[in-house]
Structure 1
Amino acid sequence: MDSKMLVRLGAVIFVAIAITATVIELTRQEDTARVRTAPQLQPTADPLQAMLRRCQGLGEAATRDADCLSAWAESRDRFLGNTPAPAAPQPGER
């Protein structure tokens, strides 16, 4: 093969690769356009989450706040899957 033939063969291979890459890119863009996203749902209002956000804003003072301590305990129980123990009856109650 002479050099002229090699140059032509190289050009044909380059054009074939460029066309293949373009076709792949165009088909991929069409696939993403067809995918439908689920509608954004509004999260339900969770009073525990609101309390945890408030405690987060308090910073170190939250470690001395009784509401924050109980919110952390409830959050920990939810995460670990623990059910809170029933309150023990007070003496004299029935």
Structure 2
Amino acid sequence: MSGPLAFRLAAAGFALLAILVAALQARRPAPSAPAAAPIQAPRPVDAQLARCQTLGAAGAQDPQCLKAWDEARARFLGAPKAER
């Protein structure tokens, strides 16, 4: 087999392979969109945390902020209700 003929056969094989892969991809079903998470009303502790965030460094001495951060930490870390 001569060089140019082998090159043409390899190029044609590559083109056929690319067409086959494209046809198989076109037959795959499109992924469905993920379901939207239900919108929940903000918890009172979240409003308190937002207030504490606006206080800045002064929030570290505010008893309401310390309590809100403790509740948020327990909720986030999944502490058992008996420990709260």
| TM-score, normalized by the shorter chain, greater than 0.5 | yes
TM-score computed with the length of structure 2 as normaliser: 0.71
Task: Identify the structure with bigger relative contact order (alpha carbons < 8 Å, sequence gap 6+).
Answer: 2
Please list, as runs of the form range in 1=range in 2, the aligned pairs for 1:11-90 lying within 5 A after superposition: 11-28=11-28, 30-32=29-31, 35-78=32-75, 79-82=77-80, 83=82
TM-score computed with the length of structure 1 as normaliser: 0.66
Return the index of the structure with the highest Cα Rg. Answer: 1
- Percent identity of the aligned residues? 32
Q: Which runs of 5+ in 1 are unaligned?
A: 86-94
- Matched residue pairs, number? 82
For residue 31 of structure 1, give the secondary structure of its aligned residue in structure 2. Answer: coil
Cα RMSD over matched residues? 2.4
Write out per-residue CA displacement over residues 23-62 of structure 1, whole angstroms, 9 at most, x where no aligned residue. 244345x422xx1431341123211112112212221010
Q: Which runs of 5+ in 2 are unaligned?
A: none
